[in-house]
Structure 1
């Protein structure tokens, strides 16, 4: 009987007490600065080289995603072609190192002057590989040491873009 009473009090307290949350804000300018630090990105294959430069970061308000536009330089068979690629990705939180990362970047548009459509899928694949291999490993924000212990048990609850600022809310579990 006593165990049931203790369990019932615990359940009532858990449902009444609000869950703790912590919100981190990222402006477009802050994200731009972090991404610009890792440029240029270069990937070479046996038949082509792709260089990605001059990132422009935008926050996609309606999708709560991060958009990245990059200049693309393609070198193939002694020819140099230029254009751009537009990618979108999302923000993720890694509790192990209490840090935020831009992940799952996918190319939505690529335009390179003078290349046959045949090569576009290969350029897209290389651009996604290069960008994701770098951004998946580079935190755009790491929680301060005094918060790290608390936030290690947190999960990313919501992401919302308002006024060109990305708000990430962590729920402490």
Structure 2
């Protein structure tokens, strides 16, 4: 029984093109769903949606501040996430970053990488807190904030 290699080669390319087409159609369908949700929020908040495909952004004003909500679909190596950017008055150019503890930061801690401790073991063990003004960081991280923040597993706070 002889198998025609050229025929297999043709079927392989047809199969590859069909799978690629299905993936593109699926991605467009998901993008349209996300865009519809963002457009509904834009109508509620008097904002607008910009971008295309996986780079959608909702922009609106809240209490006189510009808010930009962006979605990122993720990839094979990164999780999908939503980013909210808000313009703030930061006269002292203070910076506060909170992100979940990971293996790399656990290794970094053993080499004395600078981070703040807030005196709440459950919070300190789970998150890495960095900033350029220790008193500002401690004032921002109120007990209710720390308790509420523990509920959210994969949130990164970056205030600058």
- Fold match by TM threshold 0.5: no
Query: Which structure shows the higher strand fraction?
Result: 1
Short-chain TM bin: under 0.3
**Larger helix percent:** 2
TM value normalised by structure 1:
0.25
Structure with bigger RCO (C-alpha 8 Å, 6+ apart): 1
